[in-house]
Amino acid sequence: MEKLNLILSLFLILILSSACGSNPGTLIIDDFEGPIRGGPQATVDFGAGGGSSVKVCASQDIKFSGNQALKVEYDAASGGYMWVARGYNIDAKGAGCWQIKPEKINWKKFNAISFYMHGENSRRAIAFDIKDSKQEMWRFIVKDDFIGWRQIICPFADFYARGDWQPGDADKNGILDFPVKSFQFEPRPEGRGILYFDCVGLTREE
Ligand SMILES: [Ca+2]
Ligand SMILES: [Ca+2]
């Protein structure tokens, strides 16, 4: 009996310690652990223009998994823009802190990228962009129409190439070229609020 108890508790520990829980087929690429900062040694590439502003820090009280989540405090002005990015081939070299490097991922195993968002029912659109291996930006829109944590699953097939802006060196071939190198969040105008993000992963949706 004791042995059974031991096995059961070990099993429980295993379940609880698996990052982000839920789907065992999910590959976690970023749990926003470690330093979260801007400036010269930025670990997050973020900024804003056109009258918008954004502040980014780690949140230890509101988090989904691990010790912390990414807190994004924004003021999205009409006609303005912002970005909060993590990954590779972006200005802040320290933002390349995924748990696994893009070229080490077997992308064929996955057909969606997912993350947890802590919403506040602002009814605002939140753009989730990914940048492909040839610098082309692809967009998926999430509606902030819930309160608290929710998993957002974004099938690669549902992303569209951004028509409003692309980096100067984007190939703009209309093909989502793997490996994806970075992702970014952008609360769309207009209004202010606070969102939290955690546990970005790759998954396969049937
Ligand atoms: Ca976390
Ligand atoms: Ca492309």
Give residue 70 CA to ligand 1 midpoint distance, Å: 8
User: 16 pLDDT exceeds 50?
Assistant: no
The C-alpha atoms of residue 12 and residue 14 are separated, in whole angstroms, by 5
Distance (angstroms) between ligand 1 centre and the Cα of 114 equals 14
Percentage above 70 pLDDT, the chain:
90
Question: Model confidence over 49-70: pLDDT tens digits?
Answer: 999 999 999 999 999 999 999 9
Q: Which ligand is nearest to the CA of 159?
A: 2
Q: Hey, how many other C-beta atoms are within 10 angstroms of the C-beta on 74? A: 26
Give CA–CA dist 111/105, Å, rounded.
13
Give the tokens for residue 147: 């309160």
C-alpha–C-alpha distance, residues 38 and 205, integer Å: 34
Which among 12, 112, 28 has a CA at the least distance from the CA of 64?
28
Q: What is the mean pLDDT of residues 89-100?
A: 93
Please tell me the CATH superfamily of domain 24-203, with its number.
Galactose-binding lectin (2.60.120.430)
Enumerate the domain spans of the chain. Answer: 24-203
Point out the ligand nearest to the CA of residue 178: 2
